[in-house]
Structures are given as structure tokens and as C-alpha cells.
Structure 1
Amino acid sequence: MDREAETEIMVSIIAADIGGTHARVGIVDIAPGAAPSSYAHDYTLRAYTKYRCKDFESLASVFEAFKADHALEGCVAGAIASAGYFDGDILHSVNLPWPVSLAPLRSVLGLNTLYGLNDYEAVAYSTLLPARDDAIQLNPHGKAHPGKARVVLGPGTGLGAAVLVPCGDGSATLTTEAGQMTFAPTNDRDAVIAEILRKKYEFVTVERLLSGSGLLNIYGALAEMNDQQAVLDRPSLVSDAAISGRDALADEALSTFCEILGSVAGNMALGYGARGGVYLAGGILPKFKEYLQQSRFLASYLNQGKMQSYVKAIPVTLMDHGHLGVIGAACWYANRQRCDCPVMA
């Protein structure tokens, strides 16, 4: 069966989104849609389970658990989106609790066709689907240009990022390790934070500030700067204390986090010419979405010197990550079957 013919009938695949904290696994039914493009299909999440990675000794054991709860008969292929990047069957990742190879997973799942892709590559494809009601616009000045590049980034266990570029009747993706870029302070406060973290890590990446542990790093650095004791030891405790208004240091940490995120989002918009929009996902942002909306995120995003008008025209959308990666992996699979657009990484 050729690629185009395969997408003319409904197919079922196993789709997964594997992050450093959670593994999300589902069975997705893909039916042809009314439009000819590869992402104009109807996607039905027929089965779905979310697992905590730390509860399993391997990714194979995660899929064994999924098999025990759901019948896999009828699934023709699989697409596993994971933090890091695949080199053939081998995943290279700094945030997963165990090594991953696709070869044994094919046996576990009983599939000959099993693809590996970056988790934010999958989330990027999910932006092509109809907008969800819970999506929040963070830049009211922006308007997306159809047919232009889109950037997706988001803090979770690490900081993920990918770029989606239109290509023929489909799309191509550029997977990135943007989270491992050097952090570039934009003010004196951030320069001091960077210097404090450099003593701890030597090399300070963007991810050292924009991730769950990054929020703790900011909180600890601000405590040192203000000669205070850092008493909170989990990202959720910092964000909760900030939102409740009961801890000024936590509030300053979360405010700084949002401001740095805005600067990085603006840099990504410029770096990739993302006139199709900037999309924020990740596991932690939806937990303080109201705070993010009221923070200096937008002001920092727009603070791009003579290019302010350029980024002002680019919309920024906050998406609840949820099962976006699972549906996005299915969308990626449909794109691969439909056209020959490359993965540009």
C-alpha cells in the first residue's frame, strides 16, 4: 500500500508522549478529513493512560502496563515522541530516567513499524489541529500568517522546543535543543542570577532557569541575593506560594521566571522567523496561567529593540499540554504517510 492510499482509510496507531516526569500513551484512530492536507484528518483518542516514569524500570515496562489495560489489535504502527532526539533506534536524552531503544519496543508492542520523534516535534504538529477552547492568547496584538513557520516551546522537566515549517501539502519539522543554549541575561538581576548559577553548574543553559528545577534555581539564587533562606524545595511549592501571595521571595522567583520566558520566546520568534505564531506548552505553565497572563511575560517578549514591531505582530498562544503530544505524534505519522516532507534534524 502506498503512502497516499494508506491515509485514505481509517488506521489505528499507538501514539506516545514520553517526558522526563510522565509517559502518556494512547491509541489514536486516524480517519481522512475533508481537506487534502496531511493534517486535515479526524483524530480520535480511543484509549489513553498517563504514567509516572519513576514508577517503571524501563519504557518497555510502561508499554507492558498499557497492553495489560488496552487491546492493541488493529494497530498498524506506532509513533513515540520523547524528550531528546533519536539517532536511528537509539534515543539520546538528558531528562529521562532510563535509556530507550526502539528495537525491543517493537517486540513488546508487536509492531514492525515504530517511529521515534522528538516530543516537541509532536506538539508542533498538534498546533495544526483546530484550536482548543482552553488555549489562551498572551499577545493580543499578534495575528498568525498561514503558511509561515511556527515555534513551540515549553518548560517541564526540561525545556523543549521545535519549529514547524510548511512544506508542499504537509509540513516539515526542525527539532532543536534550544533548552541547552547559553542563558543570556538582559538586566543586572538576571546577570547576578547567572553568576550564582555558574558557580553551581559552570555552564548555565536556558533550561537551568526555564524548567521545574529552573524555577527552584531562580528561587535559590534570589534568596542568596537577598540574604534569605530558601525554605521551599519543590517547584510546585514555589509557584503555589507565589500565586497565594504568602511568600514575597516565591513571588519574585515566579515573576522572574515568567519574564525570562518572555525574553526567550521573543528570541525564538526572531531566530526562526515564526510569523505563524509562538506556542507555549510544557507541563508547568498551565498550573499558573492566570499569573503568567498578569506577569511581565508580554513586556519581556516585546522587548526586542528595533525588532519590537516584528515580534508584536506574532501571536503567542498558551496551550494546556495534556495529551497534545499523543495526538501530535499521530498527526506527525499522518504527515509522514502522506508526503515526503523531511524532518530537518
Structure 2
Amino acid sequence: MTTVLAGDIGGTNARFVLFRDGKFQTETFQVMPVGEYHDLGDAVADYLTSQNVGSPDQATFSFASTHEYCDEMALTNSKLTVSVSGLVKRFKLQRARVVNDFTAAAVGILSLSASELQEISAGVIDPLGPKAVLGPGTGLGVSGLIYTGEFWLPLQSQGGHVSMAGQNERELQVYRHMASVFGHVSAERYLSGPGTVNLYAALRSIDGLPIEYTNASEITSRAMTGECASCVETMQIFCRWLGVIAGNLAVTLGSTGGIYLAGGIVPQLGDYFLQSGFVEALQYKGRFSEFVAEMPVYLVKGGDPALYGSVTCLKNHYDGFGFTVDG
């Protein structure tokens, strides 16, 4: 029996689980706070101890990084570092691989059941058409899937760092404020947990109001209850701009295989998101509006696609993705 440790390492939490002979072992799933660790190996050691298990045969981890994946790395949105060869040596692994978090999530989309997807905009799906995958969390992950004729090829993308631009005067005001703070204004500056705070702070500054909230959860909850007008506008812009970016990705890839929303933020918004301007913004593509409107849009409700995908990425035809060390 082959045991594989899979880890999806975010900017806030790390999620670990064991796969035995390719099967997700639900009872071994555990969420651990990233902020308590500086080295991924220490988090892995604590996880294995808490599960009362020895070292696995193989390990695979997905996380965001602004650099090419290599042996010694630091994560984009946390202070955590990783040494792939160090993990192999410390835990006597046969193989360890690290891959981009949304590369893994894209591959993992293929493992999800129908019950783990919620259709939020109907369309006509091409089973072999390109698929767009994106989602905001601590950062903004972007990827896609292209069918090669033999298997689905994921895209290693840093699409969360594309440039943003406003589409009306209010959005241009926000953009100008963001540019004064950050210089280059990427999509992730808006569409992420920290981006929510950035948006709120920009709106308050533009309106000459003091900043009352500095936490994304506070801003989101007050938007959903309607008790804070600036919070409401923050989330309206957030959902609308997420639609813009999703539509851009869909047009770029020709995503007739569907558009998939993952990440930690959108599922928490529930009906608020479904009633937002997301779909309208996604489909507002001028001469190509009808083309995009025919693409089905799905919300990933569960299934942990990055964990499934990172295990799938251990297969030999994914050797060109991420970085691998064999023991």
C-alpha cells in the first residue's frame, strides 16, 4: 500500500491529508495555522505526530510562489519556507514534489463530483473544451486546463498579477488611489483577503471617512448584513471585478469547457455572491458577450481540489510541473 501525504499550503492555513492507494482518507484531514511555523517540515512533523502515523512513502505540496519552483523556496503570502530535498531527507521519502497551488487546483477540478459543484450560470459545456479556474483567498489564484488528446494539461499561471483598470469613474478613483499606494495595481490587490481591506480603505479615503475596519472578515460580514455602506460597496466592487477577471480569462482561453471558481472567499459569501453583479460583469465582453454567456460557470463548494490535484501531479506526465526530488 502506497501512502502519500498531500498538503495545500495557503497564506493563512495549511490543509493536510493522507491518500492510501490513491484514496482520500477523510479521517486524516487536518487544518493547521501557517503563522505558527517558519519551516514546512516542522508543520509536517506536527501533522504526522497528531495523526499518530509514521512517514509516508511520498509527499506533494501545493502553494503560491512568485518564483520558479525549486529546492529552496519561500511562499508568496506567508513567512513559511520549504526545502524539498530537506523534506525527502527528514522523512525518508521516495519522492516529494511541490507545485503551484492553482495548478494543483485546476487538475483537482477533474476529481470533483457533481455534488461538489454549484452551477451559478447555465451554459453549453464542451467536455473537451478549455476550462478556466480561478479564485480569491489570501491571494488570487488563476489557472486553466487544456486537453492534449491524452490527458488534461494544467496551466502554470501567475494570472493574479495581471494589471487592473477601472470601468467607470468610481472604479477609476479607486484605481488611482491604489496606484498611489502600490504603484503597479494587480488584480490580487483587489481580489483577495488583503485586497478586500485595500478596497475598503480606498473607498473610505476617497470619501474622506476614517477607517473603522482592518479585517477582511469584518468588512465582509458587515457588507452581508448591510450595516456598513462602505463595506457594501467594497463587496459590490469585489464581486464585479472578480467577474471582469473571470471573463478576461474565459475569453483568453476560450473556456467552452466551463469556468470554475475556487478559493476560500467566494463559497463563504453564499447567496450574497449569487445575487451580486459577478455574472453580469463576467459576461460584459462587448462583441463577445454572447460567446462568454454560453460558458457554464461553477462554484467549487467542496472536495479540496488542490489536495486531489497535487496527488495527481505526482504522475510522470506532470514531471515538468513544479519541482521534484526523489529519495
User: 1:94 and 2:76 equivalent?
Assistant: yes
Instruction: Show the counterpart of 2:13.
Output: 22
- Which runs of 5 or more residues in structure 2 are unaligned? none
Instruction: Show the counterpart of 1:119.
Output: 101
Residue 87 of structure 1: SS of its match in structure 2? coil
Task: State the identity %.
Answer: 26
Query: Which amino acid is 1:128 matched to?
Result: L
- Which runs of 5 or more residues in structure 1 are unaligned? 1-9, 32-41
Residues 310, 344 of structure 1: CA spacing in aligned structure 2 closer, same or farther, 3 A cutoff? farther
Residue 229 of structure 1: SS of its match in structure 2? coil
User: 1:244 and 2:235 equivalent?
Assistant: no
Shift in Å, 1:97: 1.4
**Within 1, Cα distance between the matches of 2:159 and 2:290?**
24
User: 1:179 and 2:165 equivalent?
Assistant: no
**Within 2, Cα distance between the matches of 1:89 and 1:112?**
16
Shift in Å, 1:81: 0.8
**Within 1, Cα distance between the matches of 2:126 and 2:64?**
28
Shift in Å, 1:131: 2.5
TM-score by length of 2: 0.92
Q: 8 Å contact 1:172–1:342 — kept in the other structure?
A: no
User: 1:222 and 2:203 equivalent?
Assistant: yes
TM-score by length of 1: 0.87
Q: 8 Å contact 2:99–2:322 — kept in the other structure?
A: no
Instruction: Show the counterpart of 1:57.
Output: 38
User: 1:331 and 2:322 equivalent?
Assistant: no
User: 1:206 and 2:226 equivalent?
Assistant: no
**Within 2, Cα distance between the matches of 1:17 and 1:91?**
15
**Within 2, Cα distance between the matches of 1:249 and 1:74?**
50
User: 1:165 and 2:156 equivalent?
Assistant: no
**Which shows bigger deviation, 147-156 or 100-109?**
100-109
Residue among 143, 152, 156 paired with 2:137:
156
**Within 1, Cα distance between the matches of 2:49 and 2:238?**
41
Shift in Å, 1:240: 0.3
User: 1:105 and 2:96 equivalent?
Assistant: no
**Within 2, Cα distance between the matches of 1:344 and 1:327?**
16
Residue 133 of structure 1: SS of its match in structure 2? helix
**Which shows bigger deviation, 120-129 or 232-241?**
120-129
Instruction: Show the counterpart of 1:320.
Output: 301
**Within 2, Cα distance between the matches of 1:217 and 1:323?**
28
**Within 2, Cα distance between the matches of 1:136 and 1:255?**
21
Residue among 115, 123, 126 paired with 1:145:
126
User: 1:12 and 2:9 equivalent?
Assistant: no
- What is the CA RMSD across the aligned residues, in angstroms? 2.1
**Which shows bigger deviation, 124-133 or 57-66?**
124-133
